[in-house]
């Protein structure tokens, strides 16, 4: 086969597998994926090839395998539409009937048999010497929302299909309409009662205060399990699991064992007398290593006391039994602590023997998850609807429990990232394995459903980070430069179905982070399925002198900024531009152009609002416009209210920046006494109620 024909076959194979051969980068320039990158990604997606030379054969085998498969592994049915499913059947020796049996999630079973001749034809194909026909199976019975199993048999062929019976729209809470809430990372939060970083108790105190001012929800960054010893990764966007919670935020003083544990009290007294606790409360940055060690030591004492009590042990074991992944997660974490990540990677799920981990560490992880669940459940009940606004990160740590346990759901030979753009001219490699589209389908979306469900157990509003991944995600082959990746498409309809099922079951809203270059069709699909978009004021200023800030539409959660953008103070004064120059993200010429644009914006906005051009004078006007708008919800970043100049995160930077560790300037008590903060929130409440 000639070189041109091989490349043509490779590109056709990419089309079959949902891999984009050409795409637009952040500069809106057309880029082509290299043949080597295509081969690596296609191999990751299950195509049988090692090099471009195998493309023709791989294309043939891929097409043949698809047509020899009776049905796709997943089918979606919306509302009461019934099942409509394509069957692929051989013409030679074709079966006369198709037998079907449907087991509902409730356990109810339905079955039947249909004559294949009575099914409508949709297509005929010939591959090699084999001929196939496509038929449409229609089962019109309405199904309850949920995950059902359809078994099919036609002659020698058989298939098991996961049927996602979904409401067409996510839950829309009446309580959220014209609502408002506040945002602050929990690690940054602190009070007179905290140990240097926030706790679930502090989050409850914040909500009580916000509710007293008329607000109805509080937002924070992901609260998921983290590695805070070895391996060490404190970013909330690189969790140890998206199924379990970070014990760093548990308040030990609210646990049943606290009063009677002399060991826990002794550990806290030691931290006090050594000055360690005072340091935690005064240092501007969170020392995760030291704080986690202190908190972990206290939790270990409480866990030992709980498991020594027969009644409490039974309660904890019952809790773990109700959550089938918890015992294995605790075992995994304990084994990882003892053996290290390199050894654990070689062990498959179920292979961990009793001599591979410390039983006390395992018990501590079970206890920690019970404690986190108890405090989050109490917080959710206290908050009501919408209550708690949580964020679902895009990925997990490479050594996470999730990747180890569900390896088939992750593309472990690739990394998620982004193509070159203005701020990252060489592209971005985010360092985590993307979810595998075919792995998700073959899993019947069990893993993804578990992830979403675990969040919606507590969250009244769930924000999906980088929402575009439902449709496509940029993959970088292992060992390749970040600029050498391309986009892989996902079965978006099926993922929307999972979100709609779980949202309706939990009565929780879903918000998609749709910032940046997002095609119109994506936002159309979001609207179709009742998923609110994001409106960010920093991205919504235009040069209109009469109205420089566009009004938020109805189906959005509106905010001034996000955790990945400059603070209001920094944006307004363009001080983040200096940072971008220092990190070689902008040239001096580009920086000067941006400073000039920002100065013109200050003049235009100041004139339009008839006020001074300072950040302090303009922010109340921006909040007022958002609060008076039709936006479903308004999220106020508390740090903006006292003029914080530094961001919580500077994307694309590493340990040289204090990302995810800066404590808030004001404590909870100081916020409540600050006239500017309280006045701003009261004004937002009044404007929302108009």
Q: In this structure, what is the dihedral angle of CA atoms 665, 667, 671, 676, given to the nearest 10 degrees?
A: -20
Q: Give the per-residue pLDDT at 352.
A: 62
Which residue is associated with the tokens 């679902």?
A: 392
Do 160 and 182 lie in a common domain? no
10 inside domain: yes
Point out the domain boundary residue: 166, 185, 205: 166
| Residues of the chain falling short of pLDDT 70 | 1, 350-355, 543
Rounded CA separation 184/641 (Å): 12
Q: Tokens standing for 405? A: 């346990």
Q: Is 467 helix (H, G, I), strand (E, B) or coil?
A: helix
Do 308 and 228 lie in a common domain? yes
Do 158 and 290 lie in a common domain? no
Q: Give the per-residue pLDDT at 2.
A: 78
Do 15 and 35 lie in a common domain? yes
Do 43 and 114 lie in a common domain? no
Do 294 and 424 lie in a common domain? yes
Do 84 and 62 lie in a common domain? no
With 0-12 CB in 10 A as exposed, 13-18 as middle and 19+ as buried, what is 48? Answer: middle
558 inside domain: no
Point out the domain boundary residue: 115, 136, 166: 166
Q: Which domain holds residue 54?
A: 3-66
Do 390 and 286 lie in a common domain? yes
Q: Give the per-residue pLDDT at 355.
A: 67
330 inside domain: yes
Do 323 and 350 lie in a common domain? yes
Point out the domain boundary residue: 107, 131, 166: 166
Rounded CA separation 507/300 (Å): 35
**DSSP secondary structure string for all residues of 183-216:** E--TTT---TTSSSS--HHHHHHHHHHHHHTT--
Do 62 and 104 lie in a common domain? no
* Structural domain count, the chain: 3
Residues of 226-261 as b/e, b for ≥16 C-beta within 10 angstroms?
bbbeebebbebbbbbbbbbbbbbbbbbeebebbeeb
């Amino acid at each position: 086969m000639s070189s041109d024909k091989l490349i043509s076959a490779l590109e056709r194979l990419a089309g079959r597998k949902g891999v984009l051969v050409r795409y637009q980068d952040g500069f809106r320039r057309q880029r082509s994926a290299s043949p080597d990158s295509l081969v690596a990604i296609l191999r990751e997606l299950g195509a049988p090839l090692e090099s471009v030379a195998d493309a023709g054969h791989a294309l043939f085998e891929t097409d043949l395998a698809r047509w020899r498969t009776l049905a796709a592994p997943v089918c979606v049915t919306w509302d009461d539409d019934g099942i409509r499913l394509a069957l692929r059947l051989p013409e030679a020796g074709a079966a006369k009937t198709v037998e079907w049996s449907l087991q509902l999630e409730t356990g109810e079973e339905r079955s039947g048999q249909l004559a294949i001749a009575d099914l409508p034809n949709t297509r005929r194909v010939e591959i090699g010497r084999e001929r196939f026909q496509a038929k449409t199976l229609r089962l019109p019975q309405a199904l309850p929302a949920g995950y059902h199993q359809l078994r099919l048999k036609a002659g020698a062929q058989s298939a098991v299909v996961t049927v996602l019976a979904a409401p067409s729209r996510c839950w829309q809470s009446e309580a959220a309409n014209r609502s408002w809430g506040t945002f602050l990372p929990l690690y940054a939060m602190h009070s007179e009662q905290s140990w240097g970083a926030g706790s679930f108790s502090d989050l409850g105190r914040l909500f009580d205060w916000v509710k007293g001012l008329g607000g109805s929800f509080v937002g924070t960054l992901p609260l998921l399990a983290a590695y805070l010893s070895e391996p060490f990764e404190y970013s909330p966007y690189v969790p140890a699991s998206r199924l379990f919670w970070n014990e760093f935020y548990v308040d030990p003083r609210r646990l049943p064992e606290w009063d009677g544990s002399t060991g826990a009290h002794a550990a806290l007294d030691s931290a006090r007398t050594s000055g360690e606790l005072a340091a935690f409360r005064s240092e501007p940055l969170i020392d995760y290593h030291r704080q986690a060690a202190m908190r972990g030591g206290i939790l270990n004492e409480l866990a030992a006391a709980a498991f020594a009590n027969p009644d409490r042990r039974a309660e904890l074991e019952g809790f773990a039994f109700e959550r089938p992944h918890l015992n294995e997660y605790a075992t995994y974490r304990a084994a990882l602590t003892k053996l290290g990540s390199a050894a654990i990677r070689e062990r498959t799920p179920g292979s961990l023997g009793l001599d591979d981990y410390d039983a006390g560490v395992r018990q501590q992880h079970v206890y920690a998850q019970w404690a986190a669940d108890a405090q989050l459940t109490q917080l959710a009940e206290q908050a009501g609807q919408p209550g708690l606004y949580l964020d679902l990160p895009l990925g997990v740590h490479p050594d996470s429990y999730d990747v180890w346990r569900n390896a088939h759901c992750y593309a472990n030979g690739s990394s998620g990232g982004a193509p070159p753009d203005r701020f990252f001219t060489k592209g971005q490699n985010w360092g985590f394995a993307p979810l595998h589209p075919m792995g998700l389908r073959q899993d019947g979306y069990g893993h993804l459903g578990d992830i979403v469900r675990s969040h919606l157990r507590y969250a009244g509003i769930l924000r999906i980070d980088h929402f575009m991944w439902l449709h496509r995600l940029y993959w970088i082959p292992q060992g390749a430069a970040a600029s050498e990746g391309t986009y892989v498409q996902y079965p978006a309809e099926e993922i929307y179905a999972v979100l709609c099922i779980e949202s309706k079951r939990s009565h929780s809203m879903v918000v998609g982070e749709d910032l940046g270059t997002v095609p119109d069709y994506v936002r159309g699909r979001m609207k179709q399925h009742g998923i609110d978009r994001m409106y960010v004021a920093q991205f919504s200023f235009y040069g209109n002198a009469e109205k420089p800030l566009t009004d938020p539409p109805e189906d959005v959660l509106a905010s001034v900024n996000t955790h990945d953008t400059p603070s209001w103070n920094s944006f307004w004064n363009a001080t983040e531009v200096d940072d971008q120059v220092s990190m070689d993200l902008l040239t001096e010429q580009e920086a000067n152009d941006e400073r000039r644009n920002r100065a013109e914006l200050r003049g235009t906005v100041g004139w339009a609002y008839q006020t001074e051009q300072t950040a302090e004078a303009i922010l109340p006007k921006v909040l007022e416009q958002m609060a008076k708008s039709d936006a479903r919800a308004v999220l106020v970043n508390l740090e903006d209210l006292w003029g914080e100049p530094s961001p919580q995160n500077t994307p694309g930077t590493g340990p040289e920046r204090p990302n995810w560790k800066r404590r808030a300037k004001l404590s909870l008590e100081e916020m409540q006494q600050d006239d500017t903060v309280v006045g701003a929130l009261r004004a937002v409440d009044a404007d929302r109620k108009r």
